[in-house]
Amino acid sequence: MQPIKRPLRLAFAVAERAFDRIFGAAWNPFYNLGALGFFYYWIVTVSGIYLYVGFDTGVERVYASIERLTYAQWYLGGVMRSLHRYASDALVVMMLTHLLREFAMDRLRGVRWLSWLTGVPVIWLVYASGVTGYWLVWDQLAQYIAIVSTEWLDSLPIFGEPIARNFLAPNSLDDRFFTLLIFLHIAVPLILLFILWLHLQRITRPKINPPRGLVIGTTAMLLVLSLAHPAVSQAPADLAKVPSVLQFDWFYLTGYPLFDLMSYRWVWALAGALTLMFAALPWLPPLRRAKARAAAVNLAYCNGCGRCAADCPYAAITMVPRDDGAAFSHQASVNPSLCVSCGICMAACPPSMPFRRVAELATGIDLPDPLLPRLRDETHRATKALAGRPRVLVYGCDRAIDLAALAGPGVGTVGLPCVGALPPSFIDYVLSRGLADGVFIAGCPDGACVNRLGIRWTEARNAGERDPRLRPRVPRERIGSFWAARHEKRALAGALAAFRARIAALPPAAEPPPRRVGVPETVP
Amino acid sequence: MIPALRYLGQAAAYALFAAFIGYFAAAPAYTYRPPDMAEIKLSFSHGGQRKGGCRPLSAEEIAKLPPNMRRTQACPRERVPVLVEMEADGRLLYRDLLPPSGLASDGPSRAYRRFALAPGAHRLELRLRDSERASGFDYQRIIDVELRPRQNLVVDFRPEAGGFVVR
């Protein structure tokens, strides 16, 4: 899979950075694919309710009722119809792009398996919703879809009377057929909504509403498209005639030409094989390296504040009643099957401070191979080796940044499982102790954090907007950050060089005071 | 980037996406069947006769049955397969032995086939055997049709209407 994923990842990274420049990270559509999908779903729902009011389920009247909406009431019914169609098409684009992006970024294994697996029926249900919608129009395209779809269903040996016999001749259909069809067209999207709820179960703060800028832009785009190029029906269905040249909606009917290229049973086999392959992808080779062990709670330092639970991107931490007799009402509890070992919880925990003078630096929640003491040790090691001016310490995400390429005489580096795993007190520690003249944080592109929320929490903590906050005394001008995709080595190096130049213009930081590490001390 | 340029870029991105959606929502056209061809659909659902035929029950056998289920004949459930043939202008288009449906093979035999034909005059010869006879057919019909371009001619089978019917 890597030969497919790597170029895909690069293509997405390039496109995302281009859109970053145009839309900004917050409005970048690539970072809001799922949310845009939801938004289109709601447009389809609202416009669908309006169309349903004017829809007549009589075989002879169904086509006329839609024509009436389209032409006699073009300013509302026609616009609603166009919005219904184009938002449905845009939904397919968002869904497939979202699927490709998650695949390219390997966001389908580990705790993400449930989201991936539930995404598979979502694809089927979106297509089923669209196909039943086209059927309702009862024009030539609907007739074609009706005939081919029912013949495809009939090729399964599970139906008694062939369903396709309902479309043999003009008098084969009765009015109840469209009543059944509209029931399906409403029921399938409702089931889809339920599956989407399952789809989001394992992640906290899922983005289901796009930012206002995207809402306004997307709505305006759909309205202009609906007015400039309204959705219209083709000639009315006539079962006495064979459908011939059809204006295809390729977003929903991409697979239909296959019915003319191979037998129906082969199409079933192909669809089944693809579905199985997609569903099995989280467990197919190359298997991810052995799963990192889950974070563990150290009750000696946990006061049940709940910050770790609030910051966990995968709802792996819950607050449960205290069970060790300590004078706190709650304690953190980790569900190992949901933990991705990102370390964000450790950074959120108040005792995660490098200033503490204890023999063994520990905190309320940390990875099994404790990240907090390792981070302090590596900070000391990296800053000790710094030479010349300005001295800059880079904290970088191991998943996104090639730290070795940044290191040099004046630049020390410390790797993190995620930038969100850096407690803000470390920046204070480095600058107040004069270990370096500046601290530079580098991670995944904003909106594309491998572990989710790492950049968001880092920025909020450093801006003093979220606990644990970076203390006001820390000189902000000595802090820099850059969010880069792995291929953007030159841009990252440039940002670091610019930061160093800025720091060089500042007076040198104070020399580090003498300190004793690893020896129990009394806090002055 | 200058804000004005950013908004211009966003407008261009929306315009491109709208053009992409608007175009592929109804184009390019797909030709399902050439407009200068016609089609014949042979489709029916018809049960063959019971295999082995019915046998009269003796008085003792009838007496053994519950009073509300007494009948005079015992008929096997299984039906014979239906043999169907269709020729167009002397050329055999279709011949198939259609098995009865159902786990006990007691359901109707079903056919649903489409055949493309050039418009114009055609002679259709239709034959169907639904009994245990070894040769020949129980139903036969010759139909002369004049097919128009894109016409969908349906050939059904309804024994109550005398056999093959054209719709």
pTM of the model: 0.86
Determine, yes or no, domain membership for B69.
Answer: no
Same domain for B26 and B44?
no
pLDDT confidence of residue A447:
76
Determine, yes or no, domain membership for B140.
Answer: yes
Residue A519 has pLDDT above 70, yes or no: no
- Contact flag A162-B45 (C-beta cutoff 8 Å): yes
Nearest to B13 among A22, A222, A231 (CB): A22
The neighbouring-strand residues paired with A296 are A366
Among residues of chain B, what percentage have pLDDT more than 70? 99
User: Does A160 contact B at CB distance below 8 Å?
Assistant: yes
Determine, yes or no, domain membership for B117.
Answer: yes
Q: Could you read off the pLDDT of B82-113 as tens digits, one per residue?
A: 999 999 999 999 999 999 998 889 899 999 99
Q: Could you read off the pLDDT of A247-282 as tens digits, one per residue?
A: 999 999 999 999 999 999 999 999 999 999 999 999
A–B interface: beta-carbon pairs under 8 A? 120
Min Cα distance B59 → chain A (Å) is 38
Q: Could you read off the pLDDT of A364-401 as tens digits, one per residue?
A: 999 999 999 999 999 999 999 888 889 999 999 998 88
Among residues of chain A, what percentage have pLDDT more than 70? 95
**What angle in degrees, to the nearest 10, is found between the helix axes of A425-432 and A371-384?**
30
- AA letter at A497: A
Residues of B with CB under 8 A from a CB of A: 1, 6, 9-10, 13-15, 17-18, 20-22, 24-35, 37-39, 41, 43, 45, 101, 107, 110, 112, 150-152, 154, 156, 167
Beta-carbon contacts of residue A168 (< 8 Å; ≥ 6 apart): A239, B41, B43, B154, B156, B167
pLDDT confidence of residue A174:
81
Q: Which two tokens stand for residue A163?
A: 């369903």
Residue A103 Cα distances to A13, A57, A342, angstroms: 13, 42, 20
Q: How many domains does chain B have?
A: 2
Kindly report the CATH number assigned to the domain that includes residue B148: 2.60.40
Element (H, E) at A246: strand A245-247
For residue A52, report the phi and psi dihedrals to the nearest 5 degrees: -65, -35
Min Cα distance A471 → chain B (Å) is 32
Same domain for B14 and B96?
no
Q: Could you read off the pLDDT of A317-343 as tens digits, one per residue?
A: 999 999 988 889 999 999 998 898 999
- A165, A242, A261: best to mutate for the B interface, most B CBs within 10 A: A242
Same domain for B119 and B135?
yes
Beta-carbon contacts of residue A207 (< 8 Å; ≥ 6 apart): A32, A34, A35
Same domain for B17 and B93?
no
- Contact flag B14-A221 (C-beta cutoff 8 Å): yes
Q: Is B51 exposed, middle or buried (0-12, 13-18, 19+ CB in 10 A)?
A: middle
> What residues of chain A lie within 8 A of the CB of B14, using their CB?
217-218, 220-221
Residue A478 has pLDDT above 80, yes or no: yes
Q: Which two tokens stand for residue A409?
A: 């005489």
Determine, yes or no, domain membership for B119.
Answer: yes
Nearest to A188 by CA among A125, A95, A124, A119: A125
Residue in A with minimal Cα distance to B9: A22
> What residues of chain B lie within 8 A of the CB of A257, using their CB?
30
The interface residues of chain A toward chain B in range 247-276, judged by CB-CB distance below 8 A, are 247-251, 253, 256-257, 260
Cβ distance B164 to B143 under 8 Å? yes
Where residue A515 falls among pLDDT bands split at 50, 70, 90?
Answer: low
Same domain for B26 and B91?
no
Same domain for B11 and B44?
no
pLDDT confidence of residue A521:
41
The interface residues of chain A toward chain B in range 29-58, judged by CB-CB distance below 8 A, are 29
A506 C-beta neighbours (distance < 10 Å), count: 13
Beta-carbon contacts of residue A506 (< 8 Å; ≥ 6 apart): A390, A437, A477, A478
> What residues of chain B lie within 8 A of the CB of A225, using their CB?
18, 21-22
N- to C-terminal Cα distance for chain B?
Answer: 68
pLDDT confidence of residue A524:
34
Same domain for B44 and B103?
yes
> What residues of chain A lie within 8 A of the CB of B1, using their CB?
21-22
Cβ distance A440 to A392 under 8 Å? yes
Q: Which two tokens stand for residue A46?
A: 């609202």
Where residue A112 falls among pLDDT bands split at 50, 70, 90?
Answer: confident
Q: Which two tokens stand for residue A334?
A: 């980790």
Same domain for B10 and B43?
no
Nearest to A435 by CA among A520, A354, A363, A366: A354
Nearest to B42 by CA among B119, B96, B78, B2: B96
Specify the residue for token string 């055999």: B92
What one-character-per-residue DSSP string does A7-40 give?
HHHHHHHHHHHHHHHHH-TTT-GGGGHHHHHHHH
Give the sign of the dihedral formed by CA A44, CA A50, CA A53, CA A59.
negative
HEC sequence for A268-292: HHHHHHHHHHHHHHHHCCCCCCCCC
Same domain for B9 and B42?
no
Same domain for B7 and B42?
no
Same domain for B20 and B85?
no
Residue B99 Cα distances to A243, A293, B92, B104, B130, angstroms: 31, 60, 20, 11, 11
- Contact flag A245-B38 (C-beta cutoff 8 Å): no
> What residues of chain A lie within 8 A of the CB of B101, using their CB?
160
Determine, yes or no, domain membership for B108.
Answer: yes
Domains and CATH numbers, chain A: 2-283 (1.20.810.10), 297-504 (no CATH)
> What residues of chain A lie within 8 A of the CB of B29, using their CB?
245-248
For residue B116, report the phi and psi dihedrals to the nearest 5 degrees: -90, 130
**Rounded Cα distance, B103 and B100, in Å:** 9
- B152, B153, B155: best to mutate for the A interface, most A CBs within 10 A: B152
Same domain for B87 and B26?
no
Residue A228 has pLDDT above 60, yes or no: yes
Strands B38-46 and B109-117: antiparallel
Residue A509 has pLDDT above 70, yes or no: no
Nearest to A169 among B22, B25, B167 (CB): B167
User: Does A139 contact B at CB distance below 8 Å?
Assistant: no
Determine, yes or no, domain membership for B153.
Answer: yes
B111 C-beta neighbours (distance < 10 Å), count: 21
Q: State the residue range of the domain holding B108.
A: 38-50+79-166
Determine, yes or no, domain membership for B61.
Answer: no
Determine, yes or no, domain membership for B6.
Answer: yes
Does the structure's ipTM exceed the value 0.90?
no
Nearest to A168 among B107, B150, B167 (CB): B167
